[in-house]
Structure 1
Amino acid sequence: MPLPKRNRLTGWLAGCACLLTVAAFQLPSQDSPFRQIIKSLANFYATTLPEKVYLHLDRPYYASGQTVWFKAYVVEADSHRPDTLSKILYVELVSARQAVVARRLLRLEAGVAPGDLALPDTLPAGTYQLRAYTNWMRNAGPAFFFSRPLAVLDTRGSLPAPPATAAKTDLQFFPEGGNLVDELESEVGFRAVDAQGRGVAVQGTILDARGQEVARFRSQHAGMGTFRLTPAPGQRYRAVVTGPGGTRAEYALPASEPAGYVLRVSETDADFMVTIRRRPAPGEAPPAGPALLLGQVRGQVSYAVQVAGAGATPVAVRLPKAKFPAGLAHLTLFDEQGTAQCERLVFVPNPPGVRLALTSDKPTYGPREAVRLRLKATDAAGQPVAGQFSVAVTAGSPTETTGPTIVSHLLLSSDLVGPVEAPEYYVQEPQTPEIRQALNALLLTQGWRRFVWKALLAGPLPAPGFLPEQALTVSGQVLTAAGQPAVRTVSYLQTNPTREARMQTEADGRFRFRGLDGLDTTQVMLRAQTVKGERELMIRLLAPPAIEPLVPATPLAAPGSPAAAALAAYARASQQQRADEKLVVKGAVALGNVDVRGNRVKVTDDVIRPYAVNSAAVVLDVSDLKAKGDSRTVMQYLQGRVAGVTITGGHANIRNALNLADGSKIEALYVIDGVIVPAEVIANYPIGEVQSIDVMKQSAAGLFGTQGAGGVIAVHSRTKGILLDPNPKDAFMAARTGVLSVQVPGYYRAREFYAPRYEAAASAAKPDPRYTTLYWAPMVQTDASGQAQLSFYTSDAGGSFNAIGEGLSTQGTPLHGSTSLNVQLPAAR
């Protein structure tokens, strides 16, 4: 399938006005290998069309029984403009045991979609993983999905204690640019983390092989910091470190290289200052040509500068920040052969004029009082911008962190290899010296995740294994008994509404039925046609993508702290909210004491069968036949087993069926997992793939209308609901008979947030359950003046509330803003 080409990266020379050209620097010549580097970079983004996802949640933590309200933003990874390549988004809640406990399939419109996840009352407290991805993103792998820890509190407002682990701190060192080089000073970043991957405070000294101190260091933020070191030839260095609780340990530093490049970067308010030095190997001739310093942000080249004469005397380059788009800038130094020698990441924040301002009409409100909230978005020049936004108003957070923001995710953490603790800290405005120091240490200890230069320049990019989805599809692969791809005709059969289709597989056995939009969850039967002499075919569907190990969440509060007390109060409020919601949601009325009596019915299957209690129906449990190696088909198994059922030539007649005009009986209706199928499908369906069989006489088959006039034989397969199976450990789920029943989920329809209006006095009689999330507006759009007006009412809850807005301008600029509201309750009498 040909993919659309994005035109933002065609012809890097068209942007030469943005390239630095001063004194010792010049543009690459026509025959320079550097031009191929830049073309390869442009080709990567134009071919792979990478995407990013961000979910704006109404709050950073929840209690069981509450609803997670969210809005999904899907963007082009290079420009951050709303994505149009994919129309389907998968959102999953994953437990610590890597089980999918909830899944949503969302229809994207202009790259956005609202959604919600109702957490069951029975959901155990703990840290879960919320992840979101498109099918196209699976080509890059789960590391590129949106993923964040989601804390679910218990009734006391706390999380279960993590298991005890070894106390030793893990400390790693990262020389700037990549390597230490003898006799060239380098800045070295370090990162100290505990067993859960969280930063811990450390300090220490660097000693040489003789035990002489050559440097001291102390972590500054989240266990990270920097120090400078000029390694001597032949020396090895070690760090003597004091960690939490006074623990002491030693760690070896990376060995230095006898020759190579060193790339140093510092910054001012306006510029990045790059210093390049080179130490040649003994007897090495000078480079045959200049080196290349390439600066790019998500594939958009800001600088391509040839650097001549780098050696013992430093060569300095000034890179104005204004020439870079906001985000993570990637500075790479290539030698004269076009081989990457050094890399450095630097961060370019949103310009000061980029702002999302939220303003309320009053500083203080009473209970059930109208609030008018104005949202205004501006660009770098302070001019109004149009865009898509979402706004949440929630009870004041008892913790300092509120989780990732759309700004921190798109501009920073989505382009880094490892997890980032409290990423919102690094994108605060204004950028203080302390934040810049912390950012410098973070980027020294992190790596770029989108590509590796060596692989990028090696040759053609691999063909994508997953295609972008513009509509609901059913796809899979047909294999022979030996597991080889088979070119066969695949039939698609669906009821409610009835639809039939067929297609021939590709050379690799793959097939894809498209255009299933507009359907609710429905059962589909797939059948691969065998060839003469073929006894067995297999249809398999790709399993959901693998789940990355859960990143430990930063503790919400220390035991006994004011924040812990606030979390406990939050848990009590959430309990009260759930009780009140039962009284008011959808106009429900509270009942008094009601005694409900009845007979308990044992349900042994995941399908409720209203006909199974009728004496005219027989339910056969055959779940144990697979383990016994039974090789019969369904019809062979039924032969002579059920009174009144006659099997002749692979067809079934059931006693008391209506007669046709010629006097013959109407044949039974055949159903597999809710899908009506031809007789030959049942005739060849192996009993080992069946969980149970229902045989219904005409009097018990009223559920099927006139189609059941001849009775019904309903088969319930072992693989029913294959696409909804949450077990990620199954690489493939398959039916070895060339017949597979598939449950295809429809799009999830997001619920509307309950927000009562108090113009009518009658509404005052009901309690207002909004103790935690006061208001949620997922689809807010600014007008030509860059503004939007929102209105809602306060609830019965008093205290401080945070109003947080997030979203994207139409040009791809992420924006985040907040304000606070105060609700005062009347004094108690």
Structure 2
Amino acid sequence: MRQICLLLFLGFLPQFHLQAQQEEEFAPPMEVAFEKVYLHTDRPHYFLKDTIWVKAYAWSAVAGEGLKPSNSRTLYMALKNQKTGESLFQTPVLLDEGMGTAQLALSDIPAGDYVLLAQSKAMADWDSAYVFQRPIRVSEVGAVALVRSSDSMQKPLPYQNGLRIGFNLTEGKYQLIIDRSTEQADSVFQLLGLQHGNPLYEQILSLQEGKNIYSLDPENFLPGLADFALVDELGEIVAERPVYFHPQAIPSLKISTNQQTYRPRERVQVLLNVLDEFGEGLEADFSVSVVDSKQVSWPADMSNIVTEMELGAALGRDFDFTKLLFGQENSAKEINDILANEKSRSALSNFNQQTEKFLWSGTGFKLKGKAMDKEGKPMSAGVELEFLMYPEQGLPIMASATVGENGTFELEDLFFQGIASVVARKIENKRKRTFSEILESHQLTFEPLDLPKPSLNARFEASNEEDSLDDIRRYAVIRNNRLDQRVVELDTFTVQRQPWTFGRARDTNELTSWANVVLDVEEGMFDHFNVFQYIQGRVPGMIIQGNINDFANPPAVFFRASHLKLISRNQGQEEIASSGAGQTENMGGGAVFLLDGILVDPKLVATIQMTQVKRIEVFNNVAGASAVAGMRGGMGAVNIVSRQIDPNQARFERNNVAYAQGYNQSIPFPKLESGDLEKDVFRTNWNSTVYWNPYLGTDFEGQGNFEFVLNDLQSEMKIIVEGMSKTGQPIFGIHTILVEE
């Protein structure tokens, strides 16, 4: 049983008597009492090879202030099998002002029940098992229904050390009913009430045997969960229970559309209006999904941002609070009846275990890895490694780590998005700065921080698909989700093309053989040029868009065959930008850049002077660019071969390059063009998620708007809106429209 100092609370807590209040100074509160996380997904279940679109919200319960955006910059997310706990996907998500976006392509993940988990460092510091959990069902074509655990939530209120704390709400007044049995010999106790780690209530009680009733003024508490505890004269906590205040304080969200019925491929205009309990507008940030209700089952008791931020996060297991939190009569009493047998994570006995101030995670994420020797055995403990990382975006990163047991190591405060190419070597003498040869790629493996196994009580169950899908739609969904089975294999043939070479004879490497154009740079001839100045006008069919002298925003490079793709992509990008869809950096793409065979950010390329460049290799067709840059090379690639200034400088080849996953690199949701209904079943768009936008918001008057284009479905569409106000209030709403020809 946890010990706390009785005098501490007596000396600093304000005295809330039954009828009068004496004002005294509060004890200095903890900076952060509790961190809450919520993931808004575009829908709760998916078909094979679908994509899960995610908006993450991370907010901290600050003492005396309510919810504030988390200071954490990293949220760790994982998709795990609900039964086995096996991880199928793990990634860090970059947070900005408590929000972040991500997407997860299910690709080859089989049908089954999964759980999407999320945890910040502050959550792990509080309790390693404390994670947000959301059930995800992956299925064949057909509707699914959410089925909850059959365990009853209502149980008789048990005694704790001969005491039990009951709750009653009559005529809007809150009452605590403390029942003392003959088992408890003591009669004098201290009643403490805390919220977000801040002490808000204290009373010395002399309890008689049987029921003792005490009134509570809800105005003394913030909306949300509070924790009450009885402490004996020895400072031991003998009984606890949570209480929920002010369910009516949840903001209201009104969703309206320019009409109620639409045609397929028609544009829908949506207005949002958010008001607080006093009818004043609230500025807020939102994420919105539009889904087909015939393909997507959205149960009424599905947890949402309101139920999770208000109660679910602190209770640690799944409850059906959805209906109770939205203005039903007697909802406060019903919620507190459910809470009677629960202990929240922010209870005094849990809170007392924490330090006075959370140590925030640094500016980046943590990456775990394992180093092996050339024989495949774990590298010896104590070996120091130096890493050079080349992210797809951003400048190179230097890092170091010491190998621990079984060859494991950790890199902290990393900050890059997407994939980074990694080269590592052993430090043989740190003082003299001497190194071993560069490690080969098979000697390094990386994995993100692992999350606890899921413990969710909810599961999904398939229902009869013929009740909701006709034959045409079922065929279309199967077609969309099994595109790989439509690949037609043709006879292969080889075309050999001699690369064009300018200047003096060149050295060759494994990339050069794929190059379409090779520019050998004569030493000392173009020292005042940067790379973009040098290649301008030297490569047939190359188009450079942007200022070649702007290092902060370097130009994009395109080739004649890929330039038409840019026009259509940029049109979509303008639509996203006009709707406030957030960052879409490098949307047009263009050619990717490599430095000595490693993918790098064009901003790094812009800083390279030609004195450091030996050769430039250009890959302007799909075959060559894909060979050196994979799928990212679809619009061409440029490889810059640097000069070795130091003849003893370490050299590395592609077999020395390992790959590490950085922050999830968010991409925009595909846009649809308005027009006529597409009746050709081979060209129709019947995707169950019609629209997804995680970057919407309302102004200081609580007003916001957005628009989207419907696909070819004729169905009932649900518009689901979730978000947080700038003042820390969760907001949720659903609106339905009808689509018919």
Q: TM-score, normalised by structure 1?
A: 0.59
- Aligned position for 2:154: 225
Structure 2 residue corresponding to 1:493, chosen from 388, 391, 395: 388
Tell me, in whole angstroms, the C-alpha distance in 1 between the residues paired with 2:248 and 2:307. 14
User: Per the alignment, do residues 445 and 456 of structure 1 end up closer, same or farther by CA in structure 2, a change over 3 Å counting?
Assistant: closer
User: Per the alignment, do residues 80 and 477 of structure 1 end up closer, same or farther by CA in structure 2, a change over 3 Å counting?
Assistant: farther
User: Per the alignment, do residues 263 and 11 of structure 1 end up closer, same or farther by CA in structure 2, a change over 3 Å counting?
Assistant: closer
Question: Cα distance, 1:594 vs. partner?
Answer: 6.3
Question: What SS does the corresponding residue of 1:415 show, helix, strand or coil?
Answer: helix
Report whether the alignment pairs 1:443 with 2:339: yes
Question: Aligned AA for 1:20?
Answer: F
Question: Cα distance, 1:377 vs. partner?
Answer: 0.9
Question: Aligned AA for 1:138?
Answer: A
Question: Cα distance, 1:713 vs. partner?
Answer: 7.0
Question: What SS does the corresponding residue of 1:351 show, helix, strand or coil?
Answer: helix
Question: Cα distance, 1:305 vs. partner?
Answer: 2.2
Question: Cα distance, 1:786 vs. partner?
Answer: 0.5
Question: Cα distance, 1:346 vs. partner?
Answer: 2.2
- Aligned position for 2:664: 748
Question: Cα distance, 1:379 vs. partner?
Answer: 1.2
Alignment of 1:97-108 (within 5 A): 97-108=84-95
Contact 1:73–1:113 (8 Å) recurs in 2: yes
Contact 1:476–1:540 (8 Å) recurs in 2: yes
User: Per the alignment, do residues 565 and 530 of structure 1 end up closer, same or farther by CA in structure 2, a change over 3 Å counting?
Assistant: farther
Tell me, in whole angstroms, the C-alpha distance in 2 between the residues paired with 1:703 and 1:398. 49
- Aligned position for 1:329: 226
Contact 2:147–2:460 (8 Å) recurs in 1: no
User: Per the alignment, do residues 767 and 319 of structure 1 end up closer, same or farther by CA in structure 2, a change over 3 Å counting?
Assistant: farther
Question: What SS does the corresponding residue of 1:137 show, helix, strand or coil?
Answer: helix
Contact 1:768–1:796 (8 Å) recurs in 2: yes
User: Per the alignment, do residues 789 and 492 of structure 1 end up closer, same or farther by CA in structure 2, a change over 3 Å counting?
Assistant: same
- Aligned position for 2:731: 815
Tell me, in whole angstroms, the C-alpha distance in 1 between the residues paired with 2:361 and 2:348. 24
Contact 2:367–2:448 (8 Å) recurs in 1: no
Tell me, in whole angstroms, the C-alpha distance in 1 between the residues paired with 2:10 and 2:231. 18
- Aligned position for 1:263: 165
Report whether the alignment pairs 1:471 with 2:336: no
Question: Cα distance, 1:376 vs. partner?
Answer: 0.9
Contact 2:61–2:196 (8 Å) recurs in 1: yes
Structure 2 residue corresponding to 1:111, chosen from 57, 75, 98: 98
Tell me, in whole angstroms, the C-alpha distance in 1 between the residues paired with 2:183 and 2:481. 74
- Aligned position for 2:449: 544
Contact 1:478–1:528 (8 Å) recurs in 2: no
User: Per the alignment, do residues 812 and 768 of structure 1 end up closer, same or farther by CA in structure 2, a change over 3 Å counting?
Assistant: farther
Which string of whole-angstrom CA distances, capped at 9 and with x for unpartnered residues, describes residues 615-664 of structure 1? xxxxxxxxxxxxxxxxxxxxxxxxxxxxxxxxxxxxxxxxxxxxxxxxxx
Report whether the alignment pairs 1:523 with 2:417: no
- Aligned position for 2:273: 376
- Aligned position for 1:401: 300
Contact 1:73–1:82 (8 Å) recurs in 2: no
User: Per the alignment, do residues 88 and 438 of structure 1 end up closer, same or farther by CA in structure 2, a change over 3 Å counting?
Assistant: same
Question: Aligned AA for 2:669?
Answer: F
Question: What SS does the corresponding residue of 1:22 show, helix, strand or coil?
Answer: coil
User: Per the alignment, do residues 756 and 198 of structure 1 end up closer, same or farther by CA in structure 2, a change over 3 Å counting?
Assistant: closer
User: Per the alignment, do residues 269 and 539 of structure 1 end up closer, same or farther by CA in structure 2, a change over 3 Å counting?
Assistant: farther
Which string of whole-angstrom CA distances, capped at 9 and with x for unpartnered residues, describes residues 753-774 of structure 1? 223232x679999945144122
Question: Aligned AA for 2:387?
Answer: Y
Question: Aligned AA for 2:661?
Answer: P
Alignment of 1:353-368 (within 5 A): 354-368=251-265
- Aligned position for 1:412: 311
Tell me, in whole angstroms, the C-alpha distance in 1 between the residues paired with 2:23 and 2:700. 43
- Aligned position for 2:492: 598
User: Per the alignment, do residues 781 and 103 of structure 1 end up closer, same or farther by CA in structure 2, a change over 3 Å counting?
Assistant: same
Tell me, in whole angstroms, the C-alpha distance in 2 between the residues paired with 1:410 and 1:295. 20
Contact 2:318–2:458 (8 Å) recurs in 1: no
Contact 1:401–1:422 (8 Å) recurs in 2: no
Alignment of 1:14-413 (within 5 A): 16=14, 20-22=16-18, 42-43=29-30, 46=31, 50-78=34-62, 81-96=67-82, 97-120=84-107, 122-157=108-143, 198-200=148-150, 223-227=152-156, 260-268=162-170, 270-279=172-181, 290-307=188-205, 309-312=206-209, 314-351=211-248, 354-396=251-293, 397-398=296-297, 400-401=299-300, 403-413=302-312
Question: Aligned AA for 1:800?
Answer: E
Which string of whole-angstrom CA distances, capped at 9 and with x for unpartnered residues, describes residues 705-741 of structure 1? 4669999775858xx86xxxxxxxxxxxxxxxxxxxx
Residue ranges of structure 2 left out of the alignment (5+ in a row): 1-7, 437-442, 495-508, 514-595, 601-637
Question: What SS does the corresponding residue of 1:224 show, helix, strand or coil?
Answer: coil
Contact 2:44–2:298 (8 Å) recurs in 1: no
Which string of whole-angstrom CA distances, capped at 9 and with x for unpartnered residues, describes residues 31-89 of structure 1? xxxx9xx76xx34xx2x664221111111111112221221111113466443421122
Q: TM-score, normalised by structure 2?
A: 0.65
Question: Aligned AA for 2:98?
Answer: G
User: Per the alignment, do residues 399 and 748 of structure 1 end up closer, same or farther by CA in structure 2, a change over 3 Å counting?
Assistant: closer
User: Per the alignment, do residues 708 and 64 of structure 1 end up closer, same or farther by CA in structure 2, a change over 3 Å counting?
Assistant: farther
Question: Cα distance, 1:416 vs. partner?
Answer: 0.7
Q: Of the two structures, which has the highest relative contact order with CA contacts closer than 8 Å and spacing of 6 or more? A: 2
Question: What SS does the corresponding residue of 1:547 show, helix, strand or coil?
Answer: coil
Question: Cα distance, 1:493 vs. partner?
Answer: 2.9
Which string of whole-angstrom CA distances, capped at 9 and with x for unpartnered residues, describes residues 113-152 of structure 1? 22222221x3211111111223443323453222111011
Tell me, in whole angstroms, the C-alpha distance in 1 between the residues paired with 2:282 and 2:23. 38
Question: What SS does the corresponding residue of 2:287 show, helix, strand or coil?
Answer: strand
User: Per the alignment, do residues 276 and 762 of structure 1 end up closer, same or farther by CA in structure 2, a change over 3 Å counting?
Assistant: closer
User: Per the alignment, do residues 55 and 270 of structure 1 end up closer, same or farther by CA in structure 2, a change over 3 Å counting?
Assistant: same
Tell me, in whole angstroms, the C-alpha distance in 1 between the residues paired with 2:692 and 2:404. 49
Question: What SS does the corresponding residue of 2:313 show, helix, strand or coil?
Answer: helix
Tell me, in whole angstroms, the C-alpha distance in 2 between the residues paired with 1:705 and 1:266. 76
Question: Aligned AA for 1:596?
Answer: L
Alignment of 1:571-582 (within 5 A): 573=473, 576-577=476-477, 579=479
Contact 2:71–2:97 (8 Å) recurs in 1: no
User: Per the alignment, do residues 369 and 321 of structure 1 end up closer, same or farther by CA in structure 2, a change over 3 Å counting?
Assistant: same
Contact 1:74–1:111 (8 Å) recurs in 2: yes
State how many pairs are aligned: 579
Question: Cα distance, 1:490 vs. partner?
Answer: 5.4
Question: Cα distance, 1:292 vs. partner?
Answer: 1.9
Question: What SS does the corresponding residue of 1:576 show, helix, strand or coil?
Answer: helix
Contact 2:79–2:116 (8 Å) recurs in 1: yes
User: Per the alignment, do residues 582 and 783 of structure 1 end up closer, same or farther by CA in structure 2, a change over 3 Å counting?
Assistant: farther
Tell me, in whole angstroms, the C-alpha distance in 2 between the residues paired with 1:519 and 1:783. 32
Q: Among all aligned residue pairs of Structure 1 and Structure 2, give the percentage whose two residues are the same amino acid.
A: 20
Question: Aligned AA for 1:111?
Answer: G
Contact 2:48–2:481 (8 Å) recurs in 1: no
User: Per the alignment, do residues 482 and 98 of structure 1 end up closer, same or farther by CA in structure 2, a change over 3 Å counting?
Assistant: closer
User: Per the alignment, do residues 542 and 798 of structure 1 end up closer, same or farther by CA in structure 2, a change over 3 Å counting?
Assistant: closer
Question: Aligned AA for 1:405?
Answer: N
Question: What SS does the corresponding residue of 2:115 show, helix, strand or coil?
Answer: strand
Question: Cα distance, 1:360 vs. partner?
Answer: 1.3
- Aligned position for 1:647: none
Question: What SS does the corresponding residue of 1:225 show, helix, strand or coil?
Answer: coil
Question: What SS does the corresponding residue of 1:389 show, helix, strand or coil?
Answer: strand
Tell me, in whole angstroms, the C-alpha distance in 2 between the residues paired with 1:224 and 1:818. 27
Tell me, in whole angstroms, the C-alpha distance in 2 between the residues paired with 1:13 and 1:510. 47
Question: What SS does the corresponding residue of 1:408 show, helix, strand or coil?
Answer: helix
